[in-house]
Chain A
Amino acid sequence: SQTIHQWPATLVQPVGSPLSLECTVEGTSNPNLYWYRQAAGRGLQLLFYSVGIGQISSEVPQNLSASRPQDRQFILSSKKLLLSDSGFYLCAWSERYSSIGANVLTFGAGSRLTVL
């Protein structure tokens, strides 16, 4: 069966420090991968998605970047964190080869980032 791992679970970082959140998927190949952010008390905003190694699409301009160095690895990074980067970050995966739009996203447990 497929599993998705996301770490660290909790992170407290000072403003201006770098960030690296990692997500890996097991039990599947060629998945679509996603990073979503959930600000406190708000809905989910898609940050990045990837349909293959090295292929990253950004949904909103921001202080963050994403990379996909391996098929089942997705990394969210920042060189210098801002206060506004605080939030709950969720990684997700879906099958790539099925009816477009129909794919169910499976989410990781999330990483809670607090920038002070």
Chain B
Amino acid sequence: AQKVTQAQTEISVVEKEDVTLDCVYETRDTTYYLFWYKQPPSGELVFLIRRNSFDEQNEISGRYSWNFQKSTSSFNFTITASQVVDSAVYFCALSDSKAAGNKLTFGGGTRVLVKP
């Protein structure tokens, strides 16, 4: 069975600090996809990134970066120079190539609070 663990339930930082969100996953499949979503206070989930299991290259998008380590089954997310607008709940999610209906399994989420 698939499982996604986000051990940090809440992180509080001061603006301009960096923050790293951990994500550890479990799957028996060799082909799978990892996702990060952001849930701002409004509630709607916003897609941030998708990564497939064959691409371990790290990715950077503006102040966001992702570190995929297949050897440790981790897909960590770093926000550099955090801003108040980054305050949200962040979810890591997993799907595999056999998932009928392309279902996503989500982690429990990490709430990030950025203080001015």
Partner-B contacts on A (CB < 8 A) = 32, 34, 36, 42-46, 49-51, 57, 59, 88, 90, 92, 94, 96, 99-110, 112
Q: B40-69 vs A: 1/0 string, CB under 8 Å?
A: 001111110010100000000000000000
The reply to whether A101 and B33 form a contact with Cβ atoms under 8 Å apart is: yes
Instruction: Count how many pairs of residues, one from A and one from B, have CB atoms less than 8 Å apart in the complex.
Output: 76
Alpha-carbon distance A46/B101, docked complex (angstroms): 12
| Interface hit among B11-19, B78-86, B91-99 | B91-99
Chain B residue at minimal CB-CB distance from A4: B44
- Picked from A42, A90, A94, A110, the residue with its CB within 8 Å of the CB of B102 is A94
The reply to whether A43 and B33 form a contact with Cβ atoms under 8 Å apart is: no
The reply to whether A109 and B43 form a contact with Cβ atoms under 8 Å apart is: yes
Kindly state the interface size class of chain B when it binds its partner: 20 to 34
- Picked from A50, A51, A101, A106, the residue with its CB within 8 Å of the CB of B96 is A101
Alpha-carbon distance A101/B52, docked complex (angstroms): 9
Alpha-carbon distance A32/B103, docked complex (angstroms): 9
List chain B residues, Cβ under 8 A from A105: 45, 47, 102, 104
Chain B residue at minimal CB-CB distance from A104: B47
Alpha-carbon distance A90/B35, docked complex (angstroms): 17
